[in-house]
Amino acid sequence: MFKIIKYVMVDILRNKIVLAYTIFLLAISFSIFNIEDSSSKGLLSMLNVVLIIVPLVSLIFSTIYMYNAVEFIELLLSQPIQRKNLLLSIYTGISLSMIIAFVIGAGIPLLLLEGSPTAIIMLLVGMLLTAIFVSLAVLGAVITRDKAKGIGIAIMMWLYFALLYDGLVLLIMFQFSDYPLESAVVIFCSLNPVDLARILILLKLDIAAMMGYTGAIFNQFFGNSTGIIYAFTTMLIWLIVPLLIALRLFRKNDL
């Protein structure tokens, strides 16, 4: 199993795209922190990088890698290796290398130039998001064997989580604004890892504004450490569940 992880990682790290991703992240983070005059504004720009670019790259790259590795996977499956182990190793390989790229690209500038608790939370959240979106990409790639369809699914997933979901929930909130939606909001947040990630970071960054909200449940919930623990656990669930479904499908797939 470790051999496969090692092989996948070496293969990816040799790949120019991941190198380019790392350099891109490095360049963008360094320039953000150097251009913005206050560190809070720098963190806000980094927030957008973490919430938008990281999921996008993780999704698309992993999907394409999975499709390109089809022959490699088939070859390995002819060996006495369990399907479960194979998919898990490939997932671990991809997500580890993407996390390494993220830590080098965004983590080093965050820690070097900012180094605040907010920066550390942002780094953790970025790593988690990478792992989550690689897991979603693996699921997408297992669902269909058609490469074009698979990439389509990946792009749709990104659009949904990064953009459409918020719009939809905003719409629901306005339609049901006469009802108490405090507890519903907690559920709405949990249904999107990007929202969870954002709230985790904002609990450090914009706590003054978050405290202003009078709705008891929301404020109590996200105003203390249980909220942070809850958000992290839910993100872990977002990592594990798609992976489990993918494993299940992959075991039965006709390759």
Partner 1 sequence: MKSLLALCCFVLLLKCADASIINVGKSHKTQTIKKAIELAQPFDTLQIENGIYKEGNLIVAKPLTLLGQKQTILDGENKHEILTISGSYFRIKGITFQNSGYSSMNDFASIKIIDAHDFIIEQNRIINAHFAIHVSNSNRFVIKNNHITGTPAEEQSTGNGIHLWKCSKALIANNNTIGHRDGIYFEFVTESEVLNNYSEKNIRYGLHFMFSNNDKYISNTFHDNGAGVAVMFSHHIAMHYNKFTLNRGGSAYGILLKEISDGEVYANTFSNNTVGVFMEGTNRIHFKHNKFYSNGYAMKVQASCNENNIENNNFTGNTFDVATNGSLVLNTLSKNYWDKYEGYDLNKDGIGDIPYRPVSLYAMIIETNPVAVMFLRSFMVSLLDKTEKIVPSITPENFKDDKPAMKPIALN
* 211 forms part of the interface with partner 1 (CB under 8 A): yes
Nearer to partner 1, 157 or 162 (CB): 162
Span near partner 1 by CB under 8 A; candidates 69-77, 107-115, 170-178, 232-240:
170-178
> Could you tell me the smallest distance in angstroms from the CB atom of residue 38 to partner 1?
6
Asked if residue 2 binds partner 1 (CB under 8 A), the reply is no
Q: Report the residue number, 46 or 131, with the smaller CB distance to partner 1.
A: 46
Closer CB to partner 1, 35 or 170, in the complex: 170
Among 174, 225, 252, 255, binds partner 1 (CB under 8 A): 174
Q: Give the CA angle between residues 147, 19, 35 to the nearest 5°.
A: 115
CB under 8 Å to 86, separation ≥6 — which residues?
A: 4, 73, 76, 77
Kindly tell me which of 80 and 167 has the beta carbon lying closer to partner 1. Answer: 167
The answer to whether residue 181 forms part of the interface with partner 1 (CB under 8 A) is: yes
Under the binding rule (CB under 8 A), the answer on residue 248 touching partner 1 is no
Give the tokens for residue 113.
């130039």
Comparing CA positions, the residue from 183, 229, 2 lying closest to residue 96 is: 2
Task: Extract the tokens encoding 72.
Answer: 């490699």
Q: What distance lies between CA 6 and its chain's CA centroid?
A: 22
Burial degree of 229 (CB within 10 A; 0-12, 13-18, 19+): exposed
Q: Is 34 in the site for partner 1 (CB under 8 A)?
A: no
In the complex, minimum distance from the CB of residue 227 to partner 1, in angstroms, rounded to a whole number: 12
Instruction: State which residue, 173 or 245, has the beta carbon closest to partner 1.
Output: 173
The whole-angstrom separation of Cα 23 and Cα 9 is 18
Q: What is the Cα 197 distance to its own chain's centre?
A: 9
What are the residues whose beta carbons fall under 8 Å from the beta carbon of 109, sequence distance 6 or more? 26, 29, 30, 32, 33
Where do contacts with partner 1 occur on this chain (CB under 8 A)?
A: 37-38, 40-41, 44, 47-48, 51-52, 162-163, 166-167, 169-170, 173-174, 177, 181-182, 184-185, 188-189, 195, 198-199, 202, 206-215, 218-219
